[in-house]
Chain A
Amino acid sequence: MAAPQAKLDALAARIAGLSFPVAGWLGAARADALDRLAAMGLPGKRDEYWRYTDPAALTGAVPLAAALFDESDEAVAFSGIDRVKLVFVNGVFDTAQSDDPALAGVEIEHLADAGAADIHWAREVYGVLETRGQTPVQRPLATLATAFATGGLLIRATGKAAKPVSLIYLQGSDTSDVILHHCIKVESGAELTLLENGNAAARLTMVMEVEVAAGGRFHHIRAQGRAHQRHAATHVFARLGAKALFKSFTVTANGALTRNDAVIELVGDDAVAHVAGAAVGDGAFHHDDTVFVTHQGLRCESRQVFKKVLKNGATGVFQGKILVKKGAQKTDGYQISQALLLDDDSQFLAKPELEIYADDVKCSHGSTSGAIDDTALFYLRSRGVPEKAAQSLLVLAFLAEAMAEIDDADIAEDIRARLESWLARHEH
């Protein structure tokens, strides 16, 4: 079915100034993506999974300007963590600001360099997981990133990484429009922790494809940019082999618009995938988590834990699905999405879905939104805890279930401190 003309027109305007190198396997993958994109067009607000989030700012021909943000009011994310820093400025890798990638003890290459090779592991990943993730729900912005990414890393772990790989995205100008696409492969028995932080751009469109082979372990912790006016559409596509572990946690504070798609396939038996998020927004903040988890293997476990704290008209969206395929017996699927509304102006829109074709499974989902518990607040205050501090304590308590998804205690503490300082700055 041909896409409506409006979507195709939007696409034409969006990619008018863009091009990509056509050589090699990467050129072919990009060309394939462009073909697929031409059939889909860009998302429109009548699309089933864009009803709660207007994609206009993400699909427009030019980005809305986003003022550069001074982050010096708190320590930069992960600054206390021993890691290998790889820095992008306006989506372009900055060697001078980066550490030696070799220190991570994993293979790290640039998309541009690897794309010319005849044989490359990334051929089986780049655009491949993204393509799989288009069914049954189209995600054209991801395809856009496959076709037109101007930067990206190919990271392959064959053993336990020596240090976390830390991708830092700096925004260099207030109209920057950045498209990134990373591929990650965690080989059998290998383990990698990937950190991401920073604003990246006024508008960021990105994809990260993650293949975790049998017994591989992948941890992803992301602190999204705090610039108030930035817009971002991110996608994580993951495919898990037998006994593989995938854990992804995102903290989002501020940002005019954030759409985080996570598409996870548990293919091998006994795989475990957890995806979690803590989002805090005050005022012009629209935050959308759209998650699609597919169970195919036997005895796999998935958890989706999303918590949002909203005030002054902030909006939170959660669209989460657990699809259990025929034969995926003994699936253990869990999904929770909750919003804490600190006033009457804020709203939370949730669309939790379960679709199950196996008979011996355990799946649960829940979605709630509510205010601070006045009784708990009074109890804390009656013990001498000042109102604001008591409120912060309760907000952090609300976020605790999502925070518990971070395995590393130091990283968890870094994120907690970040949330605490945000709460202190946003006390009314």
Chain B
Amino acid sequence: MLEIKNLHVKLEEEDKIILKGVNLSIGAGQVHAIMGPNGSGKSTLSYVLAGREGYAVTEGSALLEGTELLEMEPEERAAVGLFLAFQYPVEIPGVGNMTFLRTAVNAQRKARGEDEMSAGDFLKVVRAKAKALQIDAEMMKRPVNVGFSGGEKKRNEILQMAMLEPKMCVLDETDSGLDVDAMKLVADGVNALRGAGRSFLVITHYQRLLDHIAPDVVHIMADGRIVKSGGPELALEVENNGYAGILAEVE
């Protein structure tokens, strides 16, 4: 599904190099997790995949089902099936959450040459999905993420993901700031979307989320590289012993 090869990234405005050769291959239907110390480059990887400005790719590639993502505009990446759940979802005063979602769904459909979703169908689908995530109608009417609690923002990200039905979902610390029940809701939301045609890259600091969303592979990122990969037991090791042991071992 997603094939990242030797990805090197620096800041556009400065000489700071952040990603120093990331290699990652996620098969169709797989769930991979990335863990790693603060500042190791996890969010940068997710932003670069999504096409945020401010980063320069100096080397490497990222293919989604064989198509180079790094050459595309952010909206084109979304249309071919990439989705990023933001570590810090953005507040957009003046744009209603419902309008935002419908605009996004229809823009992607249009880009793929599909018919727009009718207002009635859209409403039906969004209501059902919002209900499953316990997002009430009031929240849907409010401007995007404005006045939402941390947990509400994260659930709203998952709602967007559920509506957009992407192929490759990157979740950047979607579990941070969630209480136990909300974490369960989010995990259920993710699990409901799991299937042969959809893959996940879950960035997290905690084993807890991975209890609910069982990953196929766990990667450890440090200083801009994937330094170790393994099974779910790797997350447990991090949880119990921190990164020191793992990092010393790979040195």
Q: How far is the CA of A380 from the CA of B143 in the complex (A)?
A: 13
- Is A393 in contact with B95, judged by CB distance below 8 angstroms? yes
9-residue interface stretch from A27-35, A79-87, A148-156, A397-405: A397-405
- Is B94 in contact with A401, judged by CB distance below 8 angstroms? yes
| Interface residue ranges of A331-385 to B (CB < 8 Å) | 373-376, 378-385
A39 within 8 A of B: no
- Is A380 in contact with B50, judged by CB distance below 8 angstroms? no
Task: Select which of B50, B75, B94, B164 is within 8 A of A386 by beta carbon.
Answer: B75
Cβ proximity bits A278-298 to B, threshold 8 Å, 1 near / 0 not: 000000000000000000000
Main secondary structure of the interface of A (DSSP, over half): helix
Q: Which residues of A contact B143 (CB under 8 A)?
A: 397
Number of chain B residues close to chain A: CB under 8 A: 31
A128 within 8 A of B: no
Task: Select which of B73, B86, B92 is within 8 A of A394 by beta carbon.
Answer: B92
For A379, the closest partner residue in chain B by CB is: B90
- Is A382 in contact with B94, judged by CB distance below 8 angstroms? no
B186 within 8 A of A: no
| Interface residue ranges of B85-113 to A (CB < 8 Å) | 86, 89-95, 99-100, 103-105, 107-108, 111
- Is A380 in contact with B73, judged by CB distance below 8 angstroms? no
Task: Tell me how far the C-beta of B78 lies from the nearest C-beta in chain A, rounded to whole angstroms.
Answer: 4
Q: How far is the CA of A376 from the CA of B50 in the complex (A)?
A: 14
- Is A387 in contact with B75, judged by CB distance below 8 angstroms? yes
Interface size class for chain A?
A: 20 to 34
Q: How far is the CA of A380 from the CA of B94 in the complex (A)?
A: 13
Task: Select which of A376, A382, A394, A398 is within 8 A of B74 by beta carbon.
Answer: A382
Task: Select which of A373, A389, A394 is within 8 A of B107 by beta carbon.
Answer: A389
- Is A386 in contact with B107, judged by CB distance below 8 angstroms? yes
| Interface residue ranges of B191-221 to A (CB < 8 Å) | none
- Most-contacted residue by chain A among B73, B74, B78, B86 (CB, 10 A): B74
A396 within 8 A of B: yes
- Is B94 in contact with A379, judged by CB distance below 8 angstroms? no
| Interface residue ranges of A205-224 to B (CB < 8 Å) | none
What are 22 A-B pairs at a CB distance below 8 A? A380-B92, A381-B51, A381-B78, A382-B52, A382-B83, A383-B100, A383-B104, A383-B108, A384-B78, A384-B108, A384-B111, A384-B164, A385-B75, A393-B100, A393-B103, A394-B92, A394-B95, A397-B92, A397-B94, A397-B95, A399-B94, A400-B94
Q: Which 10 A-B pairs have the closest CB atoms?
A: A397-B94, A384-B78, A384-B108, A383-B104, A400-B94, A381-B74, A379-B90, A397-B95, A381-B75, A384-B107
Given contacts A382-B74, A383-B108, 13 further A-B contacts (CB under 8 A): A376-B91, A378-B52, A378-B53, A380-B104, A382-B77, A382-B84, A383-B164, A385-B75, A385-B103, A386-B107, A387-B73, A394-B92, A394-B95
